[in-house]
């Protein structure tokens, strides 16, 4: 498939800026670390066409996922791998079936690396691990993901994502805060509850390079991979967010890089010498919020999430901590800022002016006018 046709198709899936961002991120990492796709047997048997199309697109972009067959239904994994192989070869997509040893040991990993190195898609069958329990096979998946330093694990399902109590699938699940609710009786089907438990163990077993695990229908896989909003349910381990008084032990160089990347502007040299009340910083500096005390009320002077972390729920995690510590505060945002529409859903009230929108939460009525005047007069944090 010609690269230009592939690019045009992807742009029909999402915004060009998103496509370019994720292509750059994926291509900057080692090829073997891109992703592990785990379709269930039902998908391979009766819904292989969209999977086959997705793999053609990804191969055309030079992105070669490991396709893992038999994770949940291992007894006919060899036949599943052969079926996928036949479909791909028919369309001249280079691939190779790898029959993993029972422990997915060094020989299997070396074979996977060799197939990817020559530009082909490895189709890994777990039939040899059929005697192991589901727990055992997920440990094998974790070992493979750790060795390859996999960035994404994607479960391909006939469902759009996790479906809790008939509600629309959530776009993000944070295991640090949502696990008990998801595993409550009647919340998820037995199969999906089992998957959530296994994903939790998988994320505990693997390094932080595996940012999360996605459950998605093959029809939406490319939208999940190449758009900020995604398409399925992303299951995350949750982030560690450090809350400090003042500037504390914040690394100004990393925080500067986050803000300048998020806003596309240069932070003023005196920004980090200004007095502030509290910082909320994700441990890897993928998101942060800065709150200053004013004579009116606490003022949220900065809130940013790195572009590659958007859509993962990190912004919501930081926001929940800010609102926990500050039941009343105010802030401003430029009308053209993409996050402004999200702020409208988070505020108790706002004033729209040509240069700024000013928002507030929990402010007494008598302080709103002063808050708006303060926000409009506040000096810019950017040069």
pLDDT attached to residue 161? 85
If one counts the domains in the chain, the total is 2
pLDDT single digits (tens) 244-260: 999 988 999 999 999 99
Measured between alpha carbons, how far is 68 from 89 in angstroms, rounded to an integer?
Answer: 17
Task: Mark which of 197, 220, 236 sits at the end of a domain.
Answer: 236
Task: Quote the DSSP letter at residue 99.
Answer: E
Percent of the chain past pLDDT 90, that is, above it, reads 50
Q: Examine the domain organization and report whether 41 and 15 are in the same domain.
A: yes
Q: Which helix (H) or strand (E) holds 16?
A: helix 16-28
On whether both 132 and 267 belong to a single domain, the answer is no
Is there a domain that residue 276 lies in? yes
155 shares a domain with 245: no
Task: Let me know whether 167 and 246 are in one domain.
Answer: no
Write the CATH number for 192.
Answer: 3.40.1160.10
Packing angle, helices 106-117 and 134-148, rounded to 10: 50
Residue 249: domain span: 241-377
Do residues 169 and 253 share a domain? no
Tokens 């994404």 found at: 152
Q: What is the pLDDT of residues 297-325, one digit of tens each?
A: 999 999 998 876 666 677 888 888 899 89
Instruction: Name the DSSP letter for residue 173.
Output: E
Answer whether residue 328 is part of any domain. yes
Could you give the C-alpha distances from 232 to 153, 173, 360, in angstroms and in order?
Answer: 12, 11, 32
Do 259 and 219 share a domain, yes or no? no
CATH number for the domain spanning 260: value is: 3.40.630.30
Q: Buried b / exposed e across 25-34, counting CB within 10 Å, b at 16+? A: ebeeeebbbb
User: For position 291, what pLDDT does the model report?
Assistant: 97
Residue 382 within a domain: no
Half-sphere exposure of 102 (CA within 13 A, CB side): 4
Q: Are 367 and 296 in contact (CB under 8 A)?
A: yes
Residue 343, in any domain of the structure: yes
Judge whether 327 lies within some domain: yes
Q: Are residues 174 and 264 in the same domain?
A: no
Q: Quote the tokens at residue 135.
A: 């727990």
Q: What is the pLDDT of residues 146-192, one digit of tens each?
A: 999 998 899 998 888 887 666 778 888 888 778 888 888 878 888 88
**Cα distances (Å, whole numbers) of residue 286 to 210, 232, 289, 318, 372:** 15, 22, 11, 11, 29
Query: Tokens 């909003």 — which residue?
Result: 229
Give yes or no for residue 267 having a pLDDT over 70.
yes
- Regarding whether 266 and 222 lie in a shared domain, the answer is no
| Least confidently predicted of 29-38, 72-81, 145-154, 202-211 | 202-211
| 197 and 312 fall within a common domain | no
**Which of these ranges, 1-15, 118-132, 158-172, has the smallest mean pLDDT?**
1-15
Of the residues 186, 221, 236, the one at which a domain ends? 236
The last residue of a domain, from among 190, 216, 236: 236
Lowest-pLDDT choice from 21-25, 107-111, 258-262: 21-25
Strands (E), the chain: 36-39, 66-69, 95-99, 121-125, 153-156, 172-174, 213-216, 233-236, 241-245, 278-282, 287-292, 299-305, 329-333, 349-352, 357-361
Task: Please indicate whether residue 207 or residue 122 has the higher confidence score (pLDDT).
Answer: 122
Asked if residue 64 lies in contact with residue 120, where contact means CB atoms within 8 angstroms, the answer is: yes
The answer to whether residue 78 sits within a structural domain is yes
The answer, as to whether pTM is greater than 0.85, is no
Establish how many alpha carbons lie within 13 A of residue 196's alpha carbon, considering only the half-sphere containing its beta carbon: 26
Shared domain for 211 and 344, answered yes or no, is no
Whether residue 110 is found in the same domain as residue 150:
yes
Interval 319-356: pLDDT, tens = 888 998 999 999 999 998 878 888 998 899 999 999 99
Phi-psi region of 287 (alpha: psi -120 to 50; beta: other; left: phi over 0): beta
Average pLDDT over residues 16-22: 76
Angle at 380 between CA 285 and CA 383, to 5 degrees: 80
Structure tokens at 273: 């010498």
- Would you say residue 383 lies in a domain? no
- pLDDT band at residue 2 using 50, 70 and 90 as cut-offs: low
- CB contact at 8 A, 370 and 363: no
* 113 occurs within a structural domain: yes
Domain identity same for 141 and 110: yes
């Amino acid at each position: 498939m010609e690269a230009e046709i592939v690019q045009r198709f992807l742009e029909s899936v999402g915004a060009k800026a998103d496509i370019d961002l994720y292509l750059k991120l994926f291509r900057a990492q080692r090829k073997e670390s891109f992703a592990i796709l785990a379709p269930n047997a039902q998908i391979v048997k009766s819904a292989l066409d969209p999977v086959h199309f997705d793999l053609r697109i990804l191969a055309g972009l030079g992105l070669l996922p490991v396709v893992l067959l038999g994770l949940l239904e291992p007894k006919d994994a060899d036949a599943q791998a052969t079926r996928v192989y036949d479909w791909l070869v028919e369309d001249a997509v280079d691939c190779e079936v790898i029959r993993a040893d029972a422990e997915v040991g060094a020989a299997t990993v070396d074979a996977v690396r060799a197939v990817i190195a020559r530009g082909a898609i490895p189709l890994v069958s777990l039939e040899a691990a059929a005697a192991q329990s589901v727990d055992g096979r997920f440990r094998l998946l974790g070992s493979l993901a750790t060795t390859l330093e996999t960035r994404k694990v994607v479960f391909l399902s006939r469902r759009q994502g996790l479906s809790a109590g008939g509600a629309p699938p959530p776009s993000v699940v944070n295991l640090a805060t949502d696990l008990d609710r998801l595993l409550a009786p009647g919340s998820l089907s037995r199969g999906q509850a089992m998957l959530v438990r296994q994903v939790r163990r998988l994320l505990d077993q693997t390094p932080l390079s595996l940012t999360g695990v996605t459950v998605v229908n093959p029809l939406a896989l490319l939208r999940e991979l190449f758009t900020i909003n995604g398409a399925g349910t992303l299951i995350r381990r949750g982030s560690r967010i450090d809350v400090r008084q003042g500037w504390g032990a914040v690394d100004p160089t990393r925080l500067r890089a986050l803000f300048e990347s998020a806003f596309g502007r240069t932070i003023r040299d005196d920004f980090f010498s200004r007095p502030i009340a509290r910082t909320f910083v994700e441990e890897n500096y993928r998101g942060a919020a800065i709150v200053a005390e004013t004579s009116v009320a606490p003022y949220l002077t900065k809130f940013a999430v790195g572009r590659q972390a958007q859509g993962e729920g990190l912004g919501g995690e930081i926001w929940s901590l800010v609102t926990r510590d500050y039941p009343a505060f105010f802030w401003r945002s430029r009308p053209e800022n993409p996050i402004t529409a999200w702020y409208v859903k988070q505020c108790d009230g706002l004033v729209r002016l040509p240069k700024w929108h000013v928002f507030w939460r929990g402010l007494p009525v008598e302080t709103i006018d002063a808050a708006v005047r303060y926000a409009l007069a506040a000096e810019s944090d950017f040069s």
